[in-house]
Amino acid sequence: RRSCEVAPDSDCVKLCVDCLLVLADCSHEAKRHFMELAEEIYRSCIDLVSAENFQDQKDEARLVLNRLLMLANRGFDVTFDDAVLMQRFKDLLEVRIEWSSQVATSGKDTSQVAATPSQVPDARVALQLLEVLFVALTWQVRVLEWVKPDGAKKNAEGEQEPGAAAEKDAAPEGIEELGDLKDVKAAIPEKMNSLVSLCIRLIEKDCSPFVRYHAYNCYMLLLQLGISVGGEAEVTFPEDHVQVLFQYINDLFQRAYDLKEPTACLNLDGFAVDATSDDFADKIAGATTTSARMLLDCCIETTEETVRDRCEVGPEECMLFAVLAARVVAEHEHEKVHSGPLALLLLTQCEKSRPKALKEVACLLFRRLRNHARLSEDYAKQFWDVQLEAIQGTFLCCGLEAATSLCHAFTRQWGPQITIWLE
């Protein structure tokens, strides 16, 4: 517990929290220490993220937020559904959005942007704030999934426990601070749409590619979460949001096209890391680490003051953002995502002149739509319409040659033609 409170290294905090959680399963004393640690970090966070204290203690706030995330990702919602704390997080992100808007309207090159003012969260803190908001919301949804509509409690495997208590008594141990679950459930739709609105403004206006990507990822995950929960919790997906996402993904693709040298170590699964290299253990912190998480963690944990809020990224990072954003579209369950304007934009990457990694993701989406087309006539018509619109859009934007090349790429993905008597 003392190591979790004072250790500056995130890996040390992560391992200590894991050890404390293991001990908490078999010891009431360890469980008490874990709860006291969570409450202490929660109270420290409330003080540090206030408007009057944040600008003077930004570094300390970053360390406390890091510990808060370690607990939230391994234990439970350590924000305790505190509306005041969550609003302070949102207010700090709104301050950053306003500052980013001023930078954009000033006409300055983002590579020449100086360090953020003291009252504005830098990219590292903004990533932490956004992740805390998202993790806290998903914890509340997870709690409600443990409780059936009739109030029955579910175990970790999702099965109903025999003789479970009523809904007001069914909260899993350690999260009783959430209060009445009916009130929590009623507030979730508003919280989800509020966070979605915040994410879309960060995508549109923030000057850091790391913050924009993380906001994009959170937005898409909230859409997916709304589908999983269903009912009133389903997130709205208006046309103005589609336009912002379309512009963001198109900018990523355009940056990927402009790369002078191809990134040979990158494919649709992320970076290829040499397991025999000396720094393999430093690059891969654990078995569940992905390229996206590694990239964001490097930005959060950096101590370089010359980074200038990470407004510019290298060619490999630029290509990785484009590939990961494309994979979200290809694998998403929302119909407006995998068969709407975002899907049309991704399918245009099937053309032979596009970067190889992006072509792989585009072909992944094409094969998914092709498999859906075999299920019903409606899906088959949708599959045809998506290809037609993609070719028409390419013709209007790039001309006949590009549209013809895309058409040939589509026909090569149809598979072998089967004679009628074999069908």
pLDDT at 55 over 50: yes
Beta bridge partners of 266: 271
Quick check: 335 pLDDT over 70? yes
Mean pLDDT, residues 122-150 taken together: 78
What would the pLDDT profile of 6-17 be if each residue is shown by its tens digit?
776 777 888 888
Both tokens assigned to 206: 């923030």
Q: What is the pLDDT of residues 172-187, one digit of tens each?
A: 444 444 556 677 777 7
* Low-confidence winner among 48-52, 100-104, 280-284 (lowest mean pLDDT): 280-284
Is the pLDDT confidence value at 146 over 70?
Answer: no
* Helix H or strand E segment including 223: helix 209-229
Residue 273 DSSP SS3: coil
Predicted local confidence at residue 246, as pLDDT: 93
**Residue 169 has what pLDDT?**
40
Which is it for the CA torsion 292, 361, 238, 378, positive or negative? negative
Please state the rounded mean pLDDT for residues 261-275.
53
Q: Is the pLDDT of residue 279 over 50?
A: no
Residue 150 has pLDDT above 60, yes or no: no
Nearest-CA neighbor of 41 among 16, 19, 12, 71? 71
Q: Which residue has the higher pLDDT, 170 or 200?
A: 200
> What percentage of the chain reaches a pLDDT higher than 70?
74
Instruction: Answer with the residue of higher pLDDT: 186 or 199.
Output: 199
Phi and psi dihedrals of 182, rounded to 5? -65, -40
- Mean pLDDT, rounded, for 123-145: 84
Strand partners, 267: 270
User: Of 333, 394, 395, 325, whose CA–CA distance to 361 is shortest?
Assistant: 325
Tens-place pLDDT, residues 84-97: 888 888 988 998 99
pLDDT winner (highest mean) among 133-142, 224-233, 413-422: 133-142
DSSP string, 52-81: HHHTTSHHHHHHHHHHHHHHHHHTS-TTTT
More confident residue, 375 or 148: 375
State residue 342's pLDDT score: 92
298 vs 366, residue with greater confidence: 366
Q: Which residues pair with 147 in a beta bridge?
A: 153
Residue 280 pLDDT greater than 60, yes or no: no
Tokens 């596009």 belong to: 354
Residue-averaged pLDDT of the chain: 77
Residue 114 has pLDDT above 90, yes or no: no
Kindly provide the b/e burial profile for residues 17-30, where b requires at least 16 CB atoms within 10 angstroms of the residue's own CB.
Answer: beebeeebeeeeeb
> Are 38 and 30 a contacting pair, CB within 8 Å?
no
For range 330-350, the mean pLDDT? 89
Lowest-confidence pick of 142-156, 197-211, 292-306: 142-156
Show Cβ contacts of residue 76 under 8 Å, excluding neighbours closer than 6 positions: 38, 139, 172, 174, 175
Confidence of residue 231 (pLDDT cuts 50, 70, 90): low
Query: Whole-prediction pTM value?
Result: 0.81
DSSP H or E run through 370:
helix 356-373
Which of 43-57, 186-200, 241-255 has the lowest average pLDDT?
43-57
Note the pLDDT of residue 174: 45
pLDDT at residue 420, as a whole number: 60
Residue 101 in tokens: 């808007």
